[in-house]
Structure 1
Amino acid sequence: MSSTFARAVAAGAAKRVPIKPIVSANPDQAKRRVLTLYKQWYRAVPLIIRTYQLPYAVETVQEKIKEQFMKNSHVRDVRAIDILIIKGEMDLQETLLNWKQDCHVRDYFENPTKVQEPTDFLGKFLTQKH
C-alpha cells in the first residue's frame, strides 16, 4: 500500500488542493459571524437568567459570556473559527430551548474544582511526572 502512495507522489498526484471553507470564505466574514453570535448571546442574557432562575446579575452573566469568547480569541484558522461558531450557535440554541438542566448552566459560574494533591508516599510516587 505504501508503494502505491509512493508511486502516486512520484507521478505528481499529490498536488496542493485548496481546502474548501466550511461557512466563512475569509477572515472578515468569520469575524462578522463571531460578532453576530456574541450579540445573540448578549441579547439572550435576560431570558437565560429568567428561564434558569440564575442568582446572578446581568453584568455577571455578560462577563462570563465574554470570558468564554476570549478563551478562543487566539484562533486564526477560518475553518476552526467556523467550527467554534457552529458549536456556539448550538450551545445558544440548547440554552434558549431549555434543553440544558440548571446545573449545566450553573457550571459556567462555578470555580473548577482543584484536584487534591496526594499527601502519602504512594500517592506522590504514582503522580510523579517523568
Structure 2
Amino acid sequence: MPLNDVFQQSIRQVRPILSADHQEARQKVISLYKSWYRQIPLIMHEYDMPKSFEQCRDKLREMFIKNQGVTDVRVIDMLVVKGQMELKEVAARWKLKSHIMRYWNESQEPKPTDFLSKFYRGHD
C-alpha cells in the first residue's frame, strides 16, 4: 500500500468530537456565547464584580473573538467543551473572584523587558 493511500485512509478515520460539520460547530459556539451572556448578571452579583455589565460583555466578546480564526471542527468542539466546563465552574462558584478578575489582566500590555523601557515606565 503506497504511503499516500495510508495517509488518506488515516485522514478518513479521524472523527469529529461533537459536531459533524462547521455549521453544527458554529451553532454550538453561538449557544455557548448566549449561555455566558445570560450568566453575566449573575456572575456580577455572585462575585461582587467591580466591572460594569458593558465591560463584562466586551470581555466576553473579546474572549470569543480571540479564537475566531479557528477552522478545524475538532478544535472548535474542544474549545466549546472547555468553555462549557468553565461556565459550569463559574456558575457553581467553584472559582474565586481572583480567578474571574484574571481575565482582565490578559488584555493589558505586557511588561517591558529591556532596561530603558522599564526605566521610562517606572518598573523594577
> Normalising by the residue count of structure 1, what TM-score does the alignment of the two structures yield?
0.77
Moved over 6 A (4+): none
Counterpart of 2:18 (choices 23, 31, 35) is 23
The correspondence of residues 103-114 of structure 1 with structure 2, limited to 5 A, is 103-110=98-105, 111-112=107-108, 114=110
* Structure 2, unpaired ranges of 5+: 117-124
Alignment-derived partner of residue 54 in structure 1: 49
| Cα distance per residue 1:54-107 (max 9 Å; x no partner) | 011111101100000000010011000000000100111111111111111011
Alignment-derived partner of residue 37 in structure 2: 42
Alpha-carbon distance in 2 for matches of 1:14, 1:104: 43
Query: Which range is displaced more, 38-47 or 102-111?
Result: 102-111
Change (3 A) 1:14 1:37: closer
Alignment-derived partner of residue 111 in structure 2: 115
Between Structure 1 and Structure 2, whose CA radius of gyration is higher? Answer: 1
Number of equivalent positions = 112
Give me the CA root mean square deviation.
2.0
> One-letter code of the match for 2:111?
V
Alignment-derived partner of residue 97 in structure 1: 92
Q: Secondary structure at the match of 1:107?
A: helix
> One-letter code of the match for 2:85?
M
Structure holding more helix per residue: 2
Q: Secondary structure at the match of 1:109?
A: helix
Alpha-carbon distance in 2 for matches of 1:35, 1:80: 15
Alpha-carbon distance in 2 for matches of 1:103, 1:79: 31
Change (3 A) 1:13 1:29: closer
How many percent identity over aligned positions? 35
> Normalising by the residue count of structure 2, what TM-score does the alignment of the two structures yield?
0.81
